[in-house]
Structure 1
Amino acid sequence: MATDGGIHHYARGEWHGPSLSHRRIRFQKGLYADFHHFVLLGEGRAELHFESGEQRPLNGPLLAFVPPQAHCDLSIAAGTAAHLVGASPQVMVDAIDDKVESYSLRIFTEQRGLVESSDPFLVAEIGPLILGFVRELDDPSRASWMVASAYMRLILMTLWRGADGERREQRGQGETGSILQRYRQLVEAGFRQHRPISDYAAELGVTADRLHSICQRTLGRSPIQLLHERVVQEAKLRLERSARNIQEISDSLGFRDPTYFSHFFKRKTGLSPAGYREIARASAGLENSMLSSGYADWP
């Protein structure tokens, strides 16, 4: 975890006022290579330039969410103003956290495509959050990791809801799909508590055997396997993306002691937590199938 004094290495907040000529912003350049970005465009025009050669015009007022997977740059036309905010994977982990909605937000942020909206109500709702994020980073005397993370969580939740993500998830789900989705949400909220599967089943209003049948038939894994996979996924993310020591990570994941956590992690991955972290640091910026590749990996 970075200290507040180092927040500018992990978050980006910029105001680009109207200019006499167009400006080009490279989202994934240098320090910002793996940042998620949001663009709040005022009256005027801009254009996204994708690695594939595709170009997409943007007409303000407009809000655009650009995940790092989109691989594009932004050109802001002369006379157009824009706010730009970005967050590193470390800030995104803190912002998304592990609450009921976290699973949905993780899937949302792992998508490869651009999300844009010119809905005036959504732009008006997110606008003050973007401005607050920029103002927080603009004052070095108070720039706070906690505040930046809180703003980012609100921005993500507002956009996810405004982009109809909540209703799309519920659409077309039968009873089985609904139970599985609710189980995922319960796991997201409670995987650190190491509750027995019978507790989850009771909260869902089904028997443990029924929950086992749904998970096994739909995903080919038992409820306890899915629960353990979620714990391992979070452990990997924290080992890769935070500076916390093994005991702190063990405590944050609800294990009774770091030795038990280490045995659990090695049994599931074949590596000790320290060994995994060493490989993660050596593989920084490289593709490595051993590493956690994203939030969407947990089904």
Structure 2
Amino acid sequence: MATDGGIHHHARGEWREPSLSHRRIRFQKGLYADFHHFFLLTDGEGELHFDDGEHRALHGPALAFLPPQARCEVSIAAGAQAYLIGVSPQIMVDAIGDKVESYSLRIFIEQMKLIEEPDTAAVGEINPLISGFVRELGDPARASWMVVSAYMRLILMAVWRSSGGEKAEQRGRGESGSILQRYRQLVEVWLRQHRPISDYAKELGVTADRLHSICQRALGRSPIQLLHERVVQEAKLRLERSTRNIQEISDSLGFRDPTYFSHFFKRKTGLSPAGYRAVARASAGSENSVLSSGYADWP
């Protein structure tokens, strides 16, 4: 496992060759307790065992995505072969980024996904990405956070598409639903630009009043309230899950200076960014309503 920049604390990549004996792997254990995992059974038989007693049989090829809350382990039959990769919340934040698809990916990673019979094209796309991820971590001389994050972004996109996420969005939910969905996507793209709501309305081809009406009717909040909630949510995620300092987070969110960012954040949450981070670190592993609970909190 690579040690460059502490990458081994934030990513794991394993290739399980065929063995003569049965094997069992616990996903969220020790260093990997908060990791998001992908398990690709390329050939043979396996079974997922969940802490609540549920079992799911696997017949290769099969792919499972397991967020931290999916507490489980996998058994691999003799002769089976598989890849296991995982990343910390910090790498997942980098991988998801803040592009048009980021909103959908944030929602996507909140739930376990099991693709039991992926089509040939999906396997052909995902397999080399996962094997590339493993190779990158297996070479201490070149293992790179940036490369690992890039691989994870490509893997997420490939799995999201193969599971039908992209097609579901394209079908839309009527005119109002489509406008609201596009507004969410624009927020992801323009989040750091602090544009007025009139710019969003113009890009969507509606009036500001029309956009306001759609948001109020669907979610009970105005467009600016939703935008501010999204900025606060992103700030919380970065304070909790990244190692960046307050100025770097302020800059990454497009604030003109960290003082203005601190005032905005405290006005919305009641805590300064530094205070929030301190609470997050003190509350690690516990339930705390002050903290962000996940990527999907924004409506």
TM-score band, normalised by the shorter chain? over 0.9
Cα distance in 2 for partners of 1:246, 1:66 equals 31
Equivalence map 1:52-67=2 (5 Å): 52-67=52-67
Q: Tell me, what secondary structure is at the counterpart of 2:98?
A: coil
> C-alpha distance in 1, partners of 2:52/2:248?
42
Report the Cα distance in structure 1 between the residues aligned to 2:42 and 2:184, rounded to whole angstroms: 38
Matched residue, 1:276 = 276
| Deviation per residue, 1:62-112 (Å, 9 max, x gap) | 222122222110001001111111111111100000100000000000124
Instruction: Determine the structure 2 residue equivalent to 1:213.
Output: 213
CA distance in 1, matches of 2:117, 2:65: 9
Q: Structure 2 CA distance, aligned partners of 1:172 and 1:179?
A: 9
1:21 lines up with 2:21 in the alignment: yes
The answer for the alignment partner of 1:70 in structure 2 is: 70
How far has the Cα of 1:117 moved from its partner? 4.2
1:187 maps to a residue whose letter is V
Distance 1:193 1:4, change over 3 A: farther
Q: How many Å apart are 1:169 and its aligned residue?
A: 2.6
What's the Cα RMSD here?
1.2
Q: How many residues align?
A: 297
The letter for the 1-side match of 2:255 is F
Separation in 1, partners of 2:157, 2:187? 19
2:47–2:75: 8 Å Cα contact kept in structure 1?
Answer: yes
Q: Where does the alignment leave 5 or more consecutive residues of structure 1 unmatched?
A: none
CA distance in 2, matches of 1:266, 1:4: 36
Structure 1 residue 20 displacement after superposition? 1.0
Shift of 1:219: 0.2
Q: Deviations over 1:21-65 (max 9, x none)?
A: 111110011111111111121221010001111111100122221
Q: Which residue of structure 2 aligns with residue 91 of structure 1? A: 91
List gaps (5 residues or longer) in structure 2.
Answer: none
Task: Name the SS of the counterpart of 1:42 in structure 2.
Answer: strand
- Secondary structure of the 2:43 match is coil
What is the TM-score normalised by the length of structure 1? Answer: 0.97
Q: Tell me the secondary structure at the aligned position of residue 39 of structure 1.
A: strand
Contact map agreement 1:22 1:77 (CA 8 A) in 2: yes
C-alpha change, 1:172 and 1:258, in structure 2 (3 Å) is closer
Q: 1:291 to 1:115 in 2, by over 3 A?
A: farther
* Residues 188 and 4 of structure 1, relative CA distance in 2, 3 Å threshold: farther
User: 1:139 corresponds to which residue?
Assistant: 139
Query: Runs in 1 of length 4+ with deviation above 2 angstroms?
Result: 112-118, 169-172
More off after superposition, 147-156 vs 70-79: 70-79
Which whole-Å CA distance do the structure 2 matches of 1:279 and 1:188 have between them? 27
Please report the TM-score for the alignment, with normalisation by the length of structure 2.
0.97
Q: Which secondary structure state, in structure 1, belongs to the residue aligned with residue 234 of structure 2?
A: helix
Alpha-carbon deviation of 1:170?
3.5
Aligned to 2:171: 171
The letter of the residue matching 2:19 is: S
**1:222 to 1:117, Cα distance in 2 relative to 1, 3 A:** farther
- Give the Å deviation of 1:4: 4.2
Indicate whether 1:38 and 2:23 are aligned: no
Distance 1:161 1:153 in 2: 12
Mapped partners of 1:5, 1:144: distance in 2: 8
Aligned with 2:106: secondary structure? helix
CA apart distance, 1:167: 1.4
Give, in whole Å, the separation in 1 of the partners of 2:115 and 2:35.
Answer: 15
